């Protein structure tokens, strides 16, 4: 199963992960992937200075902004 770990630590959350979480949830719903992708909030990943941090299918992404996030999700979740 594909997975997304989104850092909900205070630094990442205060930056853009609050908004990123909403975007991910909308994306999964719109693409019909809500049941096939596991999404989980994580505690501080220890890389606050490089945040907001999101890991998708085991690949860590740093400084993820809202625009970039869509490209990451397309790349990681939509490929066959």
**Which range, of 4-12, 20-28, 30-38, 67-75, touches ligand FES by CB under 6 A?**
4-12
Residue 56 sits at φ, ψ, to 5 deg, of -120, 120
78 DSSP 8-state letter: S
44 binds ligand FES (CB under 6 A): yes
Identify whether the C-beta of residue 9 lies closer than 8 Å to the C-beta of residue 44. Answer: yes
Structure tokens at 75: 């790349």
77 binds ligand FES (CB under 6 A): no
7 binds ligand FES (CB under 6 A): yes
Residues that bind ligand FES (CB under 6 A): 7, 9-12, 44-48, 51, 53
């Amino acid at each position: 199963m594909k997975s997304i770990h989104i850092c909900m630590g205070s630094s990442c959350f205060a930056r853009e992960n609050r908004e990123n979480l909403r975007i991910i949830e909308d994306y999964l719903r719109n693409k019909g992937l809500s049941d096939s992708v596991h999404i989980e909030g994580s505690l501080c990943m220890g890389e606050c200075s490089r945040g907001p941090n999101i890991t998708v299918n085991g690949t860590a992404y740093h400084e993820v902004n809202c625009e970039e996030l869509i490209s990451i999700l397309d790349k990681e979740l939509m490929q066959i």
